[in-house]
């Protein structure tokens, strides 16, 4: 929409842009090139976790760089995770154009919140170039963020699976946190929250980070990301990150039987062996399971993730070491409640019921949170 209008809203404005290599238009052109070609006075780019080129590993600090004809790219995942006031003093509008994956712990919406806070303080307008939530048919699910456990992997007060676009989240943040910011969301045309991203004509899901390599991984990511905070490989350093998980101590056949007994909808499991080239258990053979989504319209990522954790906790409590890694686990979950319920061996249904009470309360508080049907 912004491009179709000839960028009239940016005429005469000094512009900053938060984006990365996944920020392309329907023709596959880099967004920053389209802006400059359209006459926009683009002063600099800012890049989130994984860097502008989307090649840095999770948690790896990223430095500043230049691209093209000396266009500066400042890192928002290095010495600071917020735009510097001196940088903001040189612009009138900050554009945000990042592809999210629909889970609260994915740090791009944290970057957006921090940038909105900085822009409000600096008196800089904020414009979100909205993009599809690639897994939007999956309803909101998982625990809400406990403010005492807010962190960069949990900065936005939404359910773990939020079912919102970045534009909708920005409007929610303005309503609850940054009422003084001058915010504009450039809405998508033809977007329906009942469709997955690969069902849109002309839309390309470009990998927004090294280990989210396709839409299926984005769909499974909320089920296995909690394993990052446990003594088990979540598949990093293999050809199928987040799609498979394992450890040297796992008995694959038994784990498969236990998970199949949970009758999880839309997913099947098969036994695998893999040796991570990086990450946990690097160079050590792991036994575990690989997930295959058989029906993405009934697949429940959070239920699946809770079931995986519950079965692992019951089978290998000493090896899994959830309490030992509790601080990071609680930040990923946004609350200590999930870990406490798992370690006390509460049932999957009890955990889901507790989380859904929180989701229902959120939905009641924000009935107007959606801007698309």
Integer Cα distance of 328 and 89 in angstroms: 35
Identify the domain boundary among 133, 166, 199.
Answer: 199
pLDDT computed for residue 362 by the predictor = 98
Position 3 in a domain: no
Q: Under 8 Å CB-to-CB from 99, ≥6 apart: which residues?
A: 22, 23, 108, 131, 134, 205, 206, 208
Integer Cα distance of 232 and 247 in angstroms: 5
Identify the domain boundary among 199, 230, 250.
Answer: 199
In terms of Cβ atoms closer than 10 Å to its own Cβ (0-12, 13-18, 19+), residue 338 is buried
For 291, left (φ over 0), alpha (ψ -120 to 50), or beta?
beta
Indicate if 94 and 142 belong to the same structural domain: yes
Indicate if 189 and 306 belong to the same structural domain: no
Domain count, the chain: 2
Position 372 in a domain: no
Indicate if 168 and 20 belong to the same structural domain: yes
pLDDT computed for residue 51 by the predictor = 97
**Would the pTM count as exceeding 0.85?**
yes
Position 38 in a domain: yes
Rg (C-alpha) for the chain, rounded Å, is: 21
Integer Cα distance of 250 and 248 in angstroms: 6
Position 115 in a domain: yes
Per-residue pLDDT of the chain in tens (373 residues, 90 and over written 9): 677 777 899 999 999 999 999 999 988 999 999 999 999 999 999 999 999 999 999 999 999 999 977 899 999 999 999 999 999 999 999 999 999 999 999 999 999 999 999 999 999 999 999 999 999 999 999 999 999 999 999 999 999 999 999 999 999 999 999 999 999 999 999 899 999 999 988 778 899 999 999 999 999 999 999 999 999 999 999 999 999 999 999 999 999 999 999 999 999 999 999 999 999 999 999 999 999 999 999 999 999 999 999 999 999 999 999 988 789 999 999 999 999 999 999 999 999 999 999 999 999 999 999 999 8
Identify the domain boundary among 131, 166, 199.
Answer: 199
Position 44 in a domain: yes
Q: Could you tell me if 240 and 250 are in contact, meaning their C-beta atoms sit under 8 angstroms apart?
A: no
Position 12 in a domain: yes
Indicate if 52 and 181 belong to the same structural domain: yes
Indicate if 162 and 232 belong to the same structural domain: no
Position 156 in a domain: yes
Q: Could you tell me if 366 and 177 are in contact, meaning their C-beta atoms sit under 8 angstroms apart?
A: no
Indicate if 125 and 62 belong to the same structural domain: yes
Indicate if 219 and 271 belong to the same structural domain: yes
Indicate if 168 and 263 belong to the same structural domain: no
Domain of 235, CATH number, reads 3.90.1150.140
Indicate if 180 and 35 belong to the same structural domain: yes
Indicate if 191 and 255 belong to the same structural domain: no
Position 209 in a domain: no
Q: Could you tell me if 62 and 49 are in contact, meaning their C-beta atoms sit under 8 angstroms apart?
A: yes
pLDDT computed for residue 221 by the predictor = 98
Domain of 153, CATH number, reads 3.40.50.12170
How many angstroms separate the Cα of 299 from the Cα of each of 9, 107, 195, 211?
41, 23, 14, 21
DSSP 89: T
pLDDT computed for residue 201 by the predictor = 80
Indicate if 68 and 41 belong to the same structural domain: yes
Q: Under 8 Å CB-to-CB from 52, ≥6 apart: which residues?
A: 19, 20, 21, 45, 65, 67, 73
The domain in which residue 40 lies consists of 8-199
Indicate if 36 and 139 belong to the same structural domain: yes
């Amino acid at each position: 929409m912004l491009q179709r209008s000839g960028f009239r809203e940016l005429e005469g404005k000094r512009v900053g842009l938060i984006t990365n290599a996944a920020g392309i238009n329907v023709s596959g052109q880099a967004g920053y090139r389209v802006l400059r070609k359209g006459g926009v006075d683009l002063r600099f780019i800012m890049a989130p976790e994984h860097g502008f080129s989307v090649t840095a590993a999770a948690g790896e600090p990223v430095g500043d760089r230049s691209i093209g004809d000396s266009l500066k790219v400042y890192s928002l995942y290095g010495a600071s995770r917020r735009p510097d006031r001196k940088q903001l003093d040189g612009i009138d509008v900050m554009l945000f154009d990042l592809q999210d994956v629909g889970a609260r712990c994915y740090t791009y919406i944290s970057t957006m919140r921090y940038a909105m806070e900085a822009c409000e303080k600096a008196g800089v307008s904020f414009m979100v170039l909205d993009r599809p939530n690639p897994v939007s048919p999956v309803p909101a699910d998982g625990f809400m963020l406990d403010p005492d456990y807010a962190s960069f992997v949990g900065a936005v007060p939404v359910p773990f699976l939020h079912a919102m676009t970045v534009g909708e989240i920005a409007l929610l943040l303005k309503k609850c946190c940054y009422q003084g910011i001058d915010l504009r969301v450039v809405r998508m045309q033809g977007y329906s929250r009942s469709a997955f991203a690969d069902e849109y004509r002309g839309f390309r899901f470009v990998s927004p980070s090294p280990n989210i390599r396709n839409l299926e991984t984005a769909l499974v990511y909320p089920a296995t990301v909690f394993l990052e905070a446990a003594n088990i490989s979540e598949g990093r350093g293999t050809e199928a990150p987040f799609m498979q998980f394992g450890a040297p101590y796992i008995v694959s056949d038994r784990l498969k039987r236990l998970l199949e007994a949970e009758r999880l909808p839309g997913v099947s499991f098969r036994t695998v062996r893999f040796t991570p080239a990086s990450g946990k258990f690097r160079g050590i053979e792991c036994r575990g399971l690989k997930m295959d989504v058989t029906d993405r319209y009934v697949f429940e990522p959070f239920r699946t993730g809770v079931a995986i954790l519950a079965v692992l906790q019951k089978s290998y409590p000493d090896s899994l070491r959830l309490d030992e890694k509790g601080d990071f686990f609680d930040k990923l979950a946004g609350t200590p409640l999930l870990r406490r319920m798992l370690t006390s061996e509460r049932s999957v249904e009890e955990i889901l019921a507790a989380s859904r009470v929180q989701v229902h309360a959120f939905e009641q508080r924000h009935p107007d949170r959606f801007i698309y049907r």
